Structure 1
Amino acid sequence: MTNEFVLEALTREFPDSILASSEPYGMLTIEVKKDDTKKIIHYLRDSSLEFNFLTDICGIHYPETPDKEIGVIYHLQNMMANFRLRLKAFMPRENAEIDSLTELFAGANWMERETYDFYGINFKGHPDLRPILNMDDLGYHPMLKEYRLEDGTRTDKNDSMFGR
């Protein structure tokens, strides 16, 4: 199994869903339309490509890109061929919602809860989407880059201590 083979198979099956592809550090990375993500992952699992292991789901936040501000990244693996694949789906912040994969992979349950907890991404169809690591009443999603890293009112620190 090669990057070219997998990319060709996905492009043939979903010609309008593949937005971009690259191979950082040799790992095939494909950007897909968010509405087609579940169909593509279902195909990857049930086709002869046999991506039967969902390694990870995580979120990402690019505040400087309004139409692609929030993203969900999926890492899948074909255990027999020892081949890994990364899928990315981006969306605007106002519509940070994507289909849940809990029907396809039981392990997606906690990964989606964690991504929701830290990034505020709603997974449609998730059976129990609530915070998993943060307090229920936290009131914000800590991994969004919305808050200053340091308190500007502190007087016990000098920027020269930090090389600034």
Structure 2
Amino acid sequence: MSAPAAPLRRPRPRSPPASCFPRPPRRVPDPTGLELLAGGLRARLGDDAVVGTAHSNDYGSIEIQPQHISAALALLRDEGYRFLSSVHGADEYPHEPRLAVHYELLDMNRPDRVAIKLRVPVDAPHVESVAPSWPTADHQEREIYDLFGVVFDGHPDLRRILMPEDYEGHPQRRDFPLGGEPVLFTHHEAEGLHYAE
């Protein structure tokens, strides 16, 4: 008798389950490091510049007064946070002031990240633009202006970026009316249909 034939293909080794390779946690300053950063901002900008800090899971943030945003980001740049990865808006209704702007800064050498937050009231939503010194903020500030109505003073080209120029309102605000906007097609006009009636 002859020996059984060897299989033509070897079975492939099974890859280990995904849980064997957990994703590393996002690196943020620990609560003590976050307080040290906030203390450094208070020492250089004044005690009233920093509103407070928040640290939760993998997210550390420092809330500052809007008039100190450029100076605070410049000081954090000197501390190694040289990459502005994101600028985004939020409507924190019913809290007042309710319009918030979040700046996400990264230190690529450690790696480390921190968020700077400021809040402005709806009736005077003005804050200084950081686009002249942080070019990555250019289009992101325009998006916040378009969707939330926060005006970035000193922005080189502040205009709508997603909505039409003649659009009224800011659709990401929580008080923006829900519902669709009627679209008038050319054949409707020929048939004498008008949505405004």
TM-score band, normalised by shorter chain: 0.7 to 0.9
- Identify the residue that residue 92 of structure 2 maps to in structure 1: 62
What residue identity is the alignment partner of 1:10? Answer: A
- Identify the residue that residue 7 of structure 1 maps to in structure 2: 35
- Identify the residue that residue 55 of structure 2 maps to in structure 1: 23
Q: CA deviation at 1:111?
A: 0.7
Q: CA deviation at 1:63?
A: 2.8
Q: How far apart, CA to CA, are the structure 2 residues paired with 1:147 and 1:27?
A: 29
Alignment of 1:51-130 (within 5 A): 51-65=81-95, 67-130=96-159
Residues 9-39 of structure 1, C-alpha deviation per residue, up to 9 Å, x if partnerless? 3313423311111112232111111111111
Contact 2:169-2:176 within 8 A present in 1 as well: no
Normalized against structure 2, the TM-score is what?
Answer: 0.70
From 140, 143, 146, the equivalent of 2:172 is: 143
Q: How far apart, CA to CA, are the structure 2 residues paired with 1:150 and 1:74?
A: 31
Q: How far apart, CA to CA, are the structure 2 residues paired with 1:31 and 1:142?
A: 25
Residues 58-93 of structure 1, C-alpha deviation per residue, up to 9 Å, x if partnerless? 11112312x311111111100111101011101211
User: Gaps spanning 5+ residues in structure 1: where?
Assistant: 152-164
Q: Name the SS for the 1:102 alignment partner.
A: coil
What residue identity is the alignment partner of 2:55? Answer: E
Q: How far apart, CA to CA, are the structure 2 residues paired with 1:133 and 1:80?
A: 34
Q: How far apart, CA to CA, are the structure 1 residues paired with 2:29 and 2:149?
A: 35
Q: Name the SS for the 1:115 alignment partner.
A: helix
Evaluate the alpha carbon distance shift between residue 100 and residue 74 of structure 1 in structure 2; reply closer, same or farther with a 3 A threshold.
Answer: same
Q: CA deviation at 1:6?
A: 4.4
Percent identity between matched residues is 24
- Identify the residue that residue 188 of structure 2 maps to in structure 1: none
Q: Name the SS for the 1:68 alignment partner.
A: coil
Q: How far apart, CA to CA, are the structure 2 residues paired with 1:23 and 1:6?
A: 8
Q: Name the SS for the 2:145 alignment partner.
A: helix
Instruction: Compare CA radii of gyration and give the structure with the larger one.
Output: 2
CA RMSD of aligned residues (A): 1.7
Contact 2:147-2:170 within 8 A present in 1 as well: yes
Q: How far apart, CA to CA, are the structure 1 residues paired with 2:67 and 2:108?
A: 27
Normalized against structure 1, the TM-score is what?
Answer: 0.83
Q: How far apart, CA to CA, are the structure 2 residues paired with 1:74 and 1:93?
A: 19
Large movers: runs of 4+ above 4 Å = none
What residue identity is the alignment partner of 1:64? Answer: P
- Identify the residue that residue 159 of structure 1 maps to in structure 2: none
User: Gaps spanning 5+ residues in structure 2: where?
Assistant: 1-27, 181-197
Evaluate the alpha carbon distance shift between residue 150 and residue 139 of structure 1 in structure 2; reply closer, same or farther with a 3 A threshold.
Answer: closer
Name the structure, 1 or 2, with higher relative contact order (CA <8 Å, separation 6+). 1
